[in-house]
Structure 1
Amino acid sequence: MSEHRHAAGLISIPTAREEGLALIATSPCISCSGVLVNSLEFDTPVTTVTSDCRPWNLPLQLGQCSACGFVQSILDDEWRESSQEIYRSYDSYFQSSSKDQLVFSSGVSESRTQVFVNATLEAIDLPAGARVLDFGCGSGNVLRALSRVRPDLRLDGFDLDTRAESTLRCIPNFESLYSEIPPSSGEYHLVVFSHSLEHLERPALTLHQMTKVLAKGGHVAIALPDCSKDPIKLAVADHCSHFSPQSLTLWLKESGLEARTLPAGTASRECLVVALPSSKIGETPSPSRDLWFFDAAAWLQKAVTQLRNASRQPLTGVFGTSISAAWILAQEPQLARFFVDEDSARNRTFHKRVVYNVDSVPKGHRVLVPFAGEHLTSLLDRLRGFRPDVIWSGLHEIGRT
């Protein structure tokens, strides 16, 4: 068996092709620059979804740098035009009337942002009156959560879209909204990237710029999707980069930041880390760094095939009203007859289809649960225990006769 070797480890090309995947050298890496990215080509096209939960007519194009191992979308002209179109009509919380997404663990719900903020504040010691900057602050969920727990903090936000400024100014101790990166002031004790880093075309450069605004001993806190546990997040059309907790920690180390993973991300299938500048730069990537990427991409490829077979089955609903559910709709619009959600704050329709609470799903209907791994297993166990009269199925179970 021939193999493709690079500095980030060993990739088995024949194994990738067995899953309907192939690697083709394409564009420069968005992290290390100047090095060709190996594009992962799918035999069966995979349709994308936007990060604000809309099916999107852009074929998925993923790649991995042959030198540094950085997993990324292929940022060609078509991708940039598509992203601009997405952001022109972007709505972060359209499905919950600007309320934050909930995370369910063993049936108990918590605000996803509050989980991240609480874990961050437990991991670092912020002094009284510390200054915090939220990069990509949107309508202020992170700033609001910080203010709720630590009303002494001085809060600033950065966002290219300033439409939410009046909302932000209602947050206690909010001071300034920037639409340009603040000067290298060394004033901030904490800079937060909550689901913003993955949207950046030059993530390493932006991260480097933001570390310059940190006070001595200041930290960076990052939350972004864990694509190793949630493969559908690889198919978000406006995400530039894709991580597992391990690959994020290694990438931060190569970028001059010493990072710690926060275990609170397990329930929400997120990478949650806190990091601070380090003098150790340029560490050699781990040989195992790329393995999750091929597993996740192969899962997507197989899922598309199974969804096409499942579209012939009657009475099918989809669990959730967020990115994963919208991705199912993007692949097979006729498959999703209705949606199911545990979050009572969500709207009662999703893409013009009814949304049931778990306890109101009609008896005997089939509901697809579009997740993977341990999260899928625990969720299926809980749903089947609560509603045994509903056919709850993972993607690996659908499309069977």
Structure 2
Amino acid sequence: MNCFTCQNESVSELGVAGIRPGSVTSDSWTCRLAAVIHQCPRCGHLQKHHDKATLEAINEIYRTYAPHHLAQGNEQVVFPEGLSPRPRTWYTLEKCLPSLPANGRLLDVGCGNGAVLKSAGALLKGWELHGYDLNDKHRDEVLRLPGVASFTSGSLKKLPHREYDLVVLWHTLEHIPSPLGPLAELRDLLKPGGFLLVQVPDVERTPFDMAVIDHTSHFSRRTLEILCRQAGFEVAMDGTPWIHNCLTLLLRKSTLPVPSSQTVDAITLAGGRAQFDWYNSTVRLFDESTREGEFAIFGAGMAGIALLTQLTRKPTLILDEDRQRDGSKLEGVTITPPDRATANLKVIMPFAASNAARIAAKVRAAVPVAATWQFIIPAASATNP
């Protein structure tokens, strides 16, 4: 098994993410498959190398993929400090606007039902928009979006143009086994001066991403840049601070030679193992803390859903600030805004410790009943403060 990032010829198995077999799909369903994590001993990249049965199950996940079904097809919103809530794609593209020309051609690779294209249609008025996906399940939906000129499925060779000013890989790269070749292919689609926008989960700030069964790569800031440099890119803008649990890089073609060695130090390697151990110890903490009494999970994202497969008991509620998810159910548990929850709950906070504490403080200040809740916050770690 070769490393997906540095192409090292071997990877080491760390074990199963969680305290019992169970995971989550990237379209927000629980899954009973075990998430087995490997690490490259050279670059430190965390990854999954699935067996045949798991690959077949993942192909079925993609065949019936239902993005954002908990919010009736609407993508998740983010809550930037000092700003009104807005779609994650909108907020990210806003941040990129100063680097982009007034007019151009955008290609969204792995466009799904068009989340990126919806935001681009509103923010990039002078742009021609194109969508690409492996299958044509959402073709009609995407083609109805304002500004979208084409939709292509199957081979990239069928695209209507060979050059684009901006190519977007939105929560797509982590799904691709052996992503170096596809990244290099996308590099060849950029116009001179063009950009590739990549966003993926950040495993250092959300080790819960290891529980997403169809994510084959779990990137840190370092391993993502190693991969992108191997594919011939350099970082034009680092958007890591923009989204609390994601890595965002605006990349351009590099004129520098590819580094010959991608070996990392022992501290970096230990960090990957620490993220795996932190995840398992945090799941154990949450399980032991909820053996008695009513409790809720905060957040209907990947982390919260994964916990439904790990905890001994089922929560009373799933709390979520995104009102698009209000009333949806997972495993029979209703998603509810915090201001409609009951008193005297234990509330599980599946975030990095600092983010969990910040969110808990914000909720306590905004929701009177939260003063009666006991927030269960993970321990900090060297790589996940």
Is the structural similarity TM-score above 0.5?
yes
Aligned to 1:394: 377
Which range moves more in the overlay, 235-244 or 305-314? 305-314
Residue by residue over 1:172-194, the C-alpha shift from the partner in whole angstroms, topping out at 9 and shown as x without a partner, is 22111111213696421111000
Secondary structure at the aligned position of 2:79 is classed as strand
2:55 maps to a residue whose letter is R
Q: Partner residue of 1:132?
A: 106
Moved more, 192-201 or 316-325: 316-325
Give 1:314's aligned residue. 293
Query: Which stretch has the larger CA shift, 38-47 or 277-286?
Result: 38-47
Kept after mapping to 2: 8 A contact 1:364/1:390: yes
Contact 2:12 2:40 in 1 (8 A): yes
Aligned residue pairs, count = 369
Whether contact under 8 Å (1:383, 1:392) holds in the other structure is: no
Root-mean-square deviation (CA), in Å? 2.2
**Which structure 2 residues correspond to residues 372-387 of structure 1 after superposition, within 5 A?**
372-386=352-366, 387=370
2:268 and 2:140 mapped to 1: Cα distance?
43
Q: How has the CA–CA distance of structure 1 residues 395 and 261 changed in structure 2, closer, same or farther, with 3 Å as cutoff?
A: same
What amino acid does structure 2 have at the position aligned with 1:70? H
Matched, 1:93 2:68: yes
- Tell me which residue corresponds to 2:116: 142
1:325-364 aligned at under 5 Å gives the runs: 325-332=304-311, 334-351=313-330, 352-364=332-344
Cα distance in 1 between the residues matched to 2:196 and 2:280 = 35
Q: Which residue pairs with 1:220 in the alignment?
A: 196
Partner residue, 2:142: 168
Normalised to the residue count of structure 1, the TM-score between the two structures is: 0.86
Amino acid at match of 1:141: A
* Residue 91 of structure 1, CA deviation: 0.9
Q: Which position in structure 1 is the counterpart of 2:351?
A: 371
**Which amino acid in the other structure matches residue 163 of structure 1?**
K
Shift of 1:135: 0.4
Following the alignment from structure 2 to structure 1, what is the Cα–Cα distance between the partners of residues 51 and 5?
Answer: 15
Q: Distance in 2 between matches of 1:319 and 1:68?
A: 34
Following superposition, the deviation at residue 347 of structure 1 comes to 3.4
Residue 104 of structure 1 aligns with which residue?
Answer: 79
* 1:235 corresponds to 2:211: yes
State the alpha-carbon separation in 1 of the partners of residues 237 and 269 from structure 2.
18
Give 3-state SS (helix, strand or coil) of 1:182's partner. helix
1:296-317 Cα deviation digits (max 9, x unpaired): 1111110232233234121011
Partner of residue 178, structure 2:
202
Give the aligned residue type for 1:150.
L
- 1:368 maps to amino acid: I
Provide the rounded CA distance (Å) in 2 between the counterparts of 1:88 and 1:336: 30
The one-character-per-residue Cα deviations of 1:35-78 (angstroms, maximum 9, x if unpaired) are 01111125944532111111211112111223443321123223
Cα drift, residue 82 of structure 1: 2.3
Question: Alignment partner for residue 277 of structure 1, among 234, 253, 256?
Answer: 253
Q: CA deviation at 1:196?
A: 0.6
Alpha-carbon distance between aligned partners in 1 of 2:192 and 2:295, rounded to the nearest angstrom: 55
TM norm structure 2: 0.89
Deviates more, 1:230-239 or 1:85-94: 85-94
* 1:212 counterpart letter in structure 2: D
CA 1:337 to 1:211, structure 2 compared with 1: closer, same or farther past 3 Å? same
Q: Secondary structure at the match of 1:41?
A: strand
Deviations 1:2-39 (A, max 9, x none): xxxxxxxxxxxxxxxxxxxxxxxxx2323444601111
Q: Which deviates more from structure 2 when the two are superposed, residues 214-223 or residues 329-338?
A: 329-338
Report how far residue 167 of structure 1 moved: 1.3
Please tell me the residue identity of whatever aligns with 2:177. E
Aligned counterparts of 1:317 and 1:112: Cα–Cα separation in 2: 25
1:85 Cα offset (Å): 2.3
Closer/same/farther in 2, CA of residues 34 and 293 from structure 1, 3 Å limit: closer
Matched residue type, 1:390: W
Query: AA paired with 1:104?
Result: F
1:273/1:162 CA distance change after superposition, 3 Å: same
Q: 1:152 to 1:112 in 2, by over 3 A?
A: same
Query: Are the aligned partners of 1:112 and 1:268 in contact in 2 as well (CA < 8 Å)?
Result: no
Counterpart in 1 of 2:151?
Answer: 177
Unaligned runs of 5+ in 1: 1-26
1:101-135 superposed Cα distances (whole Å, 9 cap, x missing partner)? 0112348422111112112223x23252x111000
Residues 1:305 and 2:298 are matched in the alignment:
no
Retained in 2: the 8 A contact 1:361–1:390?
no
Q: Secondary structure at the match of 1:272?
A: strand
Partners of 1:68 and 1:320 in 2: how far apart?
A: 32
How far 1:260 moved relative to its partner? 4.0
